[in-house]
Structure 1
Amino acid sequence: MTEHWYSEVSSAEVKQFRCLESGKAFAFKNSLIQHAVVHSRVKNFKCDECGKQFTDKSIRTKHLLIHSGMKNFKCDECGKQFTDKSNLTKHLLIHSGVKNFKCDECGKLFPRKGDLTRHLLIHSGVKNFKCDECGKLFAQNRDLTQHLLIHSGVKNFKCDECGKRFAQKGNLTKHLLIHSGVKNFKCDECGKLYTQKGVLTKHLLIHSGVKNFKCDECGKRFARKSVLTRHLLIHSGVKNFKCDECGKLFAQKGVLTRHLLIHSGVKNFKCDECGKRFAQKSVLTQHLLIHSGVRNFKCDECGKQFARKEKLTKHLLIHSGVKNFKCDECGKQFTDKSNRRKHLLIHSGVKNFKCDECGKRFTRKVHLTRHLLIHSGVKNFKCDECGKLFARKGVLTRHLLIHSGVKNFKCDECGRRFAQKCDLTKHLLIHSGVNNFRCDECGKRFTRKVHLTQHLLIHSGVKNFKCDECGKRFTRKVHLTQHLLIHSGVKNFKCDECGKRFAQKGELTKHLLVHSGVKNFKCGECGKQFGLKNNLTKHLLNHCKGKSF
């Protein structure tokens, strides 16, 4: 050994021999010589158990105690045991609460200088230890060693509470805090409690608003790199986790685990406001925003407000006009994949949700829930224009379009205009000529099942709606409502040709056929033609007089 690698310090100091490589000082020259081997990188002493190599024989001797399983040094504070007394001594610093070593970068305190030294590697950005399995880099070899346990698949540490297994004991220890229910770390911003300080620290990034990690695919930003990494799996399209119940695939195991709660039927989280139950607490938390009435996310296009940002994001797709998800059955396109998935249930024909009141079946539970409002008779949403009541706010909103007079949806066949696209779609069935719904009583055919159902009331003879003015009875309430206009004397629909007035627009439309001169209904007996079918029907009665059957 040459003398350039060390220096003697003042004899007044306890540690007279200092290493010029690391600055570390020793009381004895022999200790410094042993230490110098570390810098030489020469490791001549190998452990026969695990193959690990060491610069000094005494260090290997200490290491062999790990494989022996002997831990004779116990901590009286927490019961943890150690193979070496020096490790116990270091451990006791944790319980003392004394942290004399401070990081100048972030201010974090440590009980031991070695811990601070390792911590500083984080700020240096130097990561010299690479995982050959996934390419991830680490600042310390021991971090890489722990990480490799993930790829090994070996999980020797089991939780006695829930059976979950872990590759590292430290992770099991952290996990046990969940079952303990002890949450000593509180967020001063929102009051949320956590079992670990580290989790609280991560949570605080949400309130900071700082999102330094950006997705190059979609531009979305994240507060933590790990969250960005998970997000990137969405764009990769790789979904390695499959649900054995329904076959659905997921990019992350955690998402699959949460999904499985749906099939379990277990819903332990109940809403105190409406009694609705949920499988996950996070879903309940989101649901509670509905009752709070707080909607902080507003659409700049139409002014609609939402309780959650992701709902606003989905809504904005409507205004964009982009519909990338197409139904292979009917060609209908959707802005969102989930909406297409729901739509596909229509084509499947599967209707597992039945109404106990009328027997009607539905493809989705939410549709059954809305339908049940009809039977409840509760109508809390009133139209200020005409006083009509509705069971659902959405139906009222659509109804208001009638009063607005705005009809943006036009039929290319006949020019008729509609306030809603769904009404136009229904109307187009008339022009299609498709009448798949037939009445077994009289053979009349209809384009829609609802029309057949309404028609069948005629054959039933049931007329539950009575006019208090004249006693006339009707099969449907809408017919009674139209009839009442006769007694009101109000006739708001005027014929521009002759000035005649009508109580209903439909009557005016029929009357206009008189002026048009169009007579599409011809009598097979005498050849006489009529503008209205009911006039032909009345005429045919004349031919029937005197005839015997």
Structure 2
Amino acid sequence: MDTKCCVCLNCVDTLQKIASWDSLITKLQDLVPEEEWCDDYNICHLCTTELERAYEFRQLCIRYTLERKSALLPKPVEIFSCYHCSSTFTDKQILAEHIYTHQEDRKPPEVPKSLYTKKCKLKAPNKKTRSFSCEVCDVVMPQAKQIVEHCFSEHSIAKKVVKPYKCDKCVMRFTSSANLIQHKKYHDGSRSHICSICGKSYITKSDLTVHEYTHFNRRNYKCDVCVKAFNTNKNLRSHMLVVHTDPGLWKYGCDVCSRRFPLKSGYEQHMKRHTGDKQFVCHICEKSFVSRSELQKHMRYHSQVKPFRCDHCDKSYKDKRLLDIHLAKSHGIGNAKVPVRERKYACDACPSSFSEKQKLERHAQTHAGVKPFVCLQCDKKYSDKYYFKQHMKSVHNLSEEGHGFGKDLDSYESEVMS
């Protein structure tokens, strides 16, 4: 058994596995993603204390950065949807006029001022005055049930889908006060519900319960169409929408590029690409991304670890998708779709064409006689980075894994170019 700490490499008696219950391996992966952390690594008490301190500081920075950016974001536009068709509007009055087009031989009703006004004037002693607004017109009433009756009688909206409870911090509306209370917890951001198995924290008890099902991995929810099974009913519903539902019936549609999405989360993440809202930033190169998963995928390219190896040749990759493409393209194994890149950048001096503008610019250097890649060992010069790397590997035994000169080829290249 290894008795050394994986961080300081000291041999001490008080060691614990980094894959223990307090999720040390997760924190190490978040702080130092360019290194590979194995479950059987040990860590000492002093390094654990430093890790906890660094992780807490990182979380603090992330929290205040999000708060600062959210304060600078423009106020979201409230969207009003018609219950009779898929039309959406940004103005309640226009929506109200549109709804009456679905009701033949009806005129817009005249609302008696004695029943309600736009501002509720009913005040109960020692009670906070409440008001509920109609999501179609500008009517305000003191009771939620009055709004439900109003929407049913005047706008022909089914009572069970009326949402009189509106969040005072965003544009979301709900059918019950219980759902509104649960929603407000996400604005507070207090993660008081902690998983006893892995230590992850959640805002609501229901979110924690759903998460704990993943540890049991019972997969009791089976799909009736295919052989897949899931740990939660929510995951099964998402699977049915994404895999077994016609994309033309997907609920969420982008007004910018007309793409449709089965889930609200996918739609919201897509809209961030149009607005440029990229809150996940790489601490190495400062490149920003829309989602955490994209950032984690990007971090692999800063690492030299290639865990996905081909069993049929000596190739290895940082991403499983690239391995699947290699297997399909080189060995005819699997059904991965091999991408075909369009060569839309043509050279003016010769018949060559390229799929990327940067490759065309590098190619143009060969016609101009520019050779920026110079070998420090034999003074050979190359205009293309690919041929420069091939020369370093075959002639000087310098590979990207760091053989030969004790550093990777990209580091050597930066020294050459400086």
Report the TM-score when normalising by structure 2.
Answer: 0.41
Structure ID, larger Rg: 1
Report the TM-score when normalising by structure 1.
Answer: 0.33
